[in-house]
Amino acid sequence: MIAKIKQLLEEVETLKASNAEELEALRIKYLSKKGAINDLMADFRNVAADQKKEVGMRLNELKTKAQDRINALKEQFGNQDNTACDLDLTRSAYPVQLGTRHPLTIVKNEIIDIFSRLGFSIAEGPEIEDDWHVFSALNFAPEHPARDMQDTFFIEANPDVVLRTHTSSVQSRVMEVSQPPIRIICPGRVYRNEAISYRAHCFFHQVEALYIDKDVSFTDLKQVLLLFAKEMFGADTKIRLRPSYFPFTEPSAEMDISCNICGGKGCPFCKHTGWVEILGCGMVDPNVLELNGIDSKVYSGYALGMGIERITNLKYQVKDLRMFSENDMRFLKEFEAAY
């Protein structure tokens, strides 16, 4: 028995295999239930009593070394298999180029980040909306021009269903189910029935913000606008507010920034005025608050909205809006390092 154990021990210590199949054959030969080592274990009962201790120790040593040797060879083949798995033989011979974020996504995320740091949370709503949330809840009169077919896409089967023309519809949805304080930002795609050109499109993207609480003033709005302009366009950016009209705000204003291309000196982009319009804003009309179940005698608020394409034009000087939706890889590659 001891001689047989010594013979197997010498064989185990020199085990070699060139592939996984050979290794499995060795494991079966030595360590399986019908293997050589298991046969010796079965014969152990026939060993003389005075030799059982020595034979038992040698058998355990043999089994341990056989398992260690098999595991070592198995680990070697395992590493080779993992290396092989890393090679995708179906992959194209040409390197696959990584994609980039769309410029509108880059700018949208930057706008969201600025307002998030001011305490605004993101709110979203459906693009296919009803007349109430798009117009009526926002103080649009029945005869308002925005309801005309020239501006709005109506669903033919149901004239009360439209493609939203602004993300203000999200504001009305939030107001009707929430009580102040409300501080939200509403990014999303909107649709208008306009001819497609270098400066207009039938769909585009907006970001609107709404803040409602007690004692909210126009001064609060102005400070938020100034901070946003400086964060987005640089610390030297100046703003100015011009009186305007929107059905859902009173008073209303349009905001210009000092042209970031010429620094306010005047250039073709700003039409030599030194200023560029970027957004509309104002204090939420009390009628809008009441229509959405908020007491206008207790609460006040401001709202603002901007086109993401407009902000992207200013930041990256993209002169044709159609570039944003044509998927021209030459154009998109220009934004690889923009995020």
One domain for residues 272 and 319 = yes
In this predicted model, what pLDDT tens digit does every residue of 266-312 receive, in sequence order? 777 778 888 999 999 999 999 999 999 999 999 999 999 999 998 99
Residue 95 lies in a domain: no
Residue 180 lies in a domain: yes
> Considering only 86-90, 156-160, 235-239, 262-266, which range has the smallest mean pLDDT?
86-90
How many C-alpha atoms does 277 have within 13 Å on its Cβ side? 11
Residue 94 lies in a domain: no
Last residue of a domain, one of 57, 85, 113: 85
One domain for residues 111 and 80 = no
What's the average model confidence in pLDDT over 110-122? 95
What's the average model confidence in pLDDT over 67-81? 74
One domain for residues 149 and 234 = yes
Mean residue pLDDT across the chain: 86
d(CA 46, CA 62) in angstroms, rounded, equals 18
One domain for residues 68 and 109 = no
d(CA 138, CA 119) in angstroms, rounded, equals 24
* CATH value at residue 125: 3.30.930.10
What's the average model confidence in pLDDT over 249-260? 92
One domain for residues 282 and 186 = yes
Residue 61 lies in a domain: yes
Q: Give the CA distances from residue 285 to residues 105, 138, 170, 307, in Å, rounded to whole numbers and listed in that order.
A: 31, 9, 16, 22
Range of the domain at 66: 2-85
One domain for residues 289 and 325 = yes
Residue 93 lies in a domain: no
Structural domain tally of the chain? 2
One domain for residues 197 and 324 = yes
pTM beyond 0.75, yes or no: no
Higher pLDDT: 132 or 262? It is: 132
E strands, the chain, where? 121-122, 128-130, 154-155, 158-163, 182-191, 203-213, 239-246, 249-258, 275-284, 300-307
One domain for residues 147 and 57 = no
**pLDDT > 90 fraction of the chain, expressed in percent and rounded:** 43
Residue 90 lies in a domain: no
One domain for residues 138 and 75 = no
Residue 172 lies in a domain: yes
pLDDT at residue 85, as a whole number: 55
| pLDDT surpassing 80 at residue 241 | yes
One domain for residues 68 and 171 = no
Higher pLDDT: 89 or 72? It is: 72
